[in-house]
Amino acid sequence: MVLEATMIVVDNSESSRNGDYVPSRWEAQSDAVNLIFSAKTQANPESEVGLMSMGGKGPEVLVTLTTDFGKILDGIHRTKIRGGTHLTTGIQIAGLALKHRRNKAQRQRIIVFTCSPITESEKDLVKLAKRMKKNNINIDFIAFGDLEPESTKKLEVFNENIKGGDGSHLAVIPPGPSLLSDHLVTTPILNGDGVAPRGGGDDVGGADGGGGGFEFGVDPSTDPELALALRMSMEEERARQEKEGKAKGERMEGIPEEGQPLLNEQGEASGSGGGNGEKMDEDKKEKGEEVKEENKENTEEGKKGGGEGADKMDTA
C-alpha cells in the first residue's frame, strides 16, 4: 500500500452551520475526517494524517502529522465555527506542513473540504495548482453544499491543472438524506492506491467471510465505537497470548532434561535406563561369584568323597 502523509483541511466557516446535510455540514465533515483517517492508517500503518482549519480569521494547524486518532478527535472538538474561508492560504500552509514531515518517503496529499463560496480568482487558483504540482503534492477536493456553478467551475479548473501520476480528485457531493461519509466511500478519494480496500467482490477482504473488506467485518464509519472495541479486544488477546507464551517458556527452561547422553564420560553407552543396567550387571556379577563358590565346594566334596572310597577298598 502507498505510504502517504495527508493533511486534511476542514471548512469551519459560517456556511458549515447549515443543516442540509445530516446532522449538519460541520458534523458531516467530522464523520468524514474519521473515515479518511481510518482508511489511510489501515492501508499503511506508517501513513500519517494531520488536520487544519481554513475558516475564521485565518487558517490554523490543529494537529500536525500523526498516527494517533485521539489527537485528530481532539482537534475537531477544539475547532470553532466562525468567519469566512481562506482557501489558497490554507492550501499553502498545508503544503508547508507536509514539507516538514519526518518520513520523506511519504507521498504528499492534501484533502480539502469546502462548502463555502470560493472568492479566489481562477487565475490565482491555476497558479497555486501548478506550484503544488511542482512540489509533488496531490490535492483532493470534497465540495459539498449548495455551491454556485462559478465555484464548481473554479474547482474543476484547479483539478485539471494539478492532476499528476497518482491523481488529484474532485468529488462534488450534493445535499441529500444520506451521510456525507457514505457518498465519500464511493469516490476515488477513498478508492485510490493510498487507502485500504473498502468492500466489493474483487477485494481480497471481500471474500474473507463476508466482511466487505472492513477490519473485523465492521465499517468504522457507521459504528466507530464497535470497531474500536473489537480492535482493543484483539490487542488485549494478543498481549495475553504473548504473556502466556513467555511464562510457558520460562517454566520449560526450569525443567531438567529427562534424557541422558548416548555416551558417558568414559565413552560407554548409557541412556535413560543406565541406572537399572548397572544394577543388573552387579546382580549378574554376584550370581557368577556364587556359582563359582558352589562349584569349588562341590569339587572339594568330590575329592574328599573319592579319598574315603579308596581307603575302604584297601581295608577290604
pLDDT, one tens digit per residue, over 220-271 is: 555 666 766 677 777 777 777 888 877 777 766 655 555 555 555 555 555 4
CA distances from 92 to 31, 124, 127, 135, 181 (A): 25, 12, 12, 11, 26
Burial class (CB in 10 A: 0-12, 13-18, 19+), 206: middle
What is the distance between the alpha carbons of residues 186 and 172, in angstroms, rounded to a whole number?
A: 12
In single-letter form, the type of residue at position 122 comes to E
Is the pLDDT confidence value at 312 over 90? Answer: no
Is the pLDDT confidence value at 17 over 60? Answer: yes
pLDDT-wise least confident of 94-108, 198-212, 269-283: 198-212
pLDDT-wise least confident of 70-84, 111-125, 192-206: 192-206
Arithmetic mean of pLDDT over the chain:
78
What is the residue whose three cell numbers read 541412556? 271
Peptide bond into 261 cis (omega under 30): no
What is the distance between the alpha carbons of residues 118 and 133, in angstroms, rounded to a whole number?
A: 21
In the chain, beta strands by DSSP E: 4-10, 48-53, 60-66, 107-114, 137-144, 170-173
Q: Is the pTM of this model over 0.75?
A: no
Burial class (CB in 10 A: 0-12, 13-18, 19+), 104: exposed
Cβ-contact 162, 170 below 8 angstroms: no
pLDDT, one tens digit per residue, over 135-190 is: 999 999 999 988 889 999 999 999 999 986 568 999 999 888 888 988 899 899 98
Cβ-contact 101, 108 below 8 angstroms: yes
